[in-house]
């Protein structure tokens, strides 16, 4: 069911437990039951209605919050999802409900010292799309940097090293996928990546002698951070897809 995009594994388990899944017309009661490619899986409309109520939240994460579980005394970003922080420019018209926090989890990381777009979702299908092992959805960042020579960084940074940032670096013993990296202004780069290794951009910059002094994620797939203020959040619109 997960491979077909019908549900996340957790959702599939819950639907099976509720008797909402049939194979060739027969209700499935065993978790992990095997299904051959020739067999037909059907899902009760109640499951679709349940799935339609799942929410996805877009948060403009500020510095000082961790993406996932609390650590070293720092609070997780999900604690910012409160009625008080709900952006009054949210175009969805949805109103906050406490059940929207149930199983709301980050779909990807954003370092404690980085800011910008963080996705939290109840929908396992979206999580898989964004952080599954085969996901190649683009993520775009604005990265302010310093270099060890006087003058505007763009003017003194070697062009060859900019080429290396685009393609040619290795991390953790493996080559990185080609990236898109170009100058936004004299001390700021724009990165577009299709993978998300831990602290990847900071480590890429360190490899060519750059120090990151500010990092902001502004886009995931086709979803933009836009005018969402720091520390505030909104719901993903029904017509928005990553």
Cα 124 from Cα 120, distance rounded (Å):
11
Which three-class secondary structure state does DSSP give residue 151?
A: coil
- β-strands 170-171, 174-175 pairing: antiparallel
The active-site residue, picked from 13, 24, 111, 123, is: 111
Enclosing H/E stretch for 144: strand 139-147
Q: Do 80 and 64 form a contact (C-beta atoms < 8 A)?
A: no
Q: Which two tokens stand for residue 194?
A: 């299709």
Q: Which two tokens stand for residue 173?
A: 């013993």
The total of other beta-carbon atoms located within 10 Å of residue 213's CB is 12
- β-strands 21-23, 41-43 pairing: antiparallel
Q: Do 60 and 115 form a contact (C-beta atoms < 8 A)?
A: yes
Q: Is the dihedral of CA 85, 86, 88, 89 positive or negative?
A: positive
Catalytic, 72? Answer: no
For the chain, what's the residue count?
Answer: 242
CA distances (Å), origin 189, targets 8, 145, 161, 175, 240: 36, 7, 13, 21, 27
Cα 59 from Cα 229, distance rounded (Å):
9
Which are the catalytic amino acids?
Answer: 111
């Amino acid at each position: 069911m997960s491979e077909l995009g019908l549900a996340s594994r957790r959702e599939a388990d819950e639907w099976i437990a509720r008797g909402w899944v049939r194979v060739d017309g027969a209700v499935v009661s065993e978790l992990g039951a095997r299904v051959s490619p020739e067999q037909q899986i059907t899902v009760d409309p109640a499951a679709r209605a349940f799935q339609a109520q799942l929410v996805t939240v877009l948060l403009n994460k500020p510095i000082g919050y961790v993406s996932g579980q609390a650590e070293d005394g720092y609070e997780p970003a999900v604690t910012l999802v409160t009625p008080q922080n709900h952006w009054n420019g949210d175009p969805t018209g949805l109103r906050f409900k406490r059940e929207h926090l149930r199983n709301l989890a980050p779909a990807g990381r954003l370092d404690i010292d980085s800011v910008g777009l963080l996705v939290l979702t109840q929908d396992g299908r979206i999580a898989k799309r964004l952080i599954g092992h085969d996901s190649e959805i683009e993520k775009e960042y604005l990265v302010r940097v310093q270099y060890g020579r006087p003058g505007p960084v763009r003017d003194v940074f070697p062009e060859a090293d900019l080429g290396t940032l685009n393609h040619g670096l290795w991390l953790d013993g493996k080559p990185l996928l080609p990236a898109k990296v170009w100058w936004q202004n004299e001390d700021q780069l724009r990165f577009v990546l299709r993978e998300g290794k831990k602290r990847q951009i900071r480590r890429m910059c360190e490899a060519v002698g750059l120090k990151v002094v500010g990092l902001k994620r502004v886009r995931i797939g086709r979803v933009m951070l836009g005018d969402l203020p720091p520390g505030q959040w909104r719901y993903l619109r029904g017509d928005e897809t990553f």
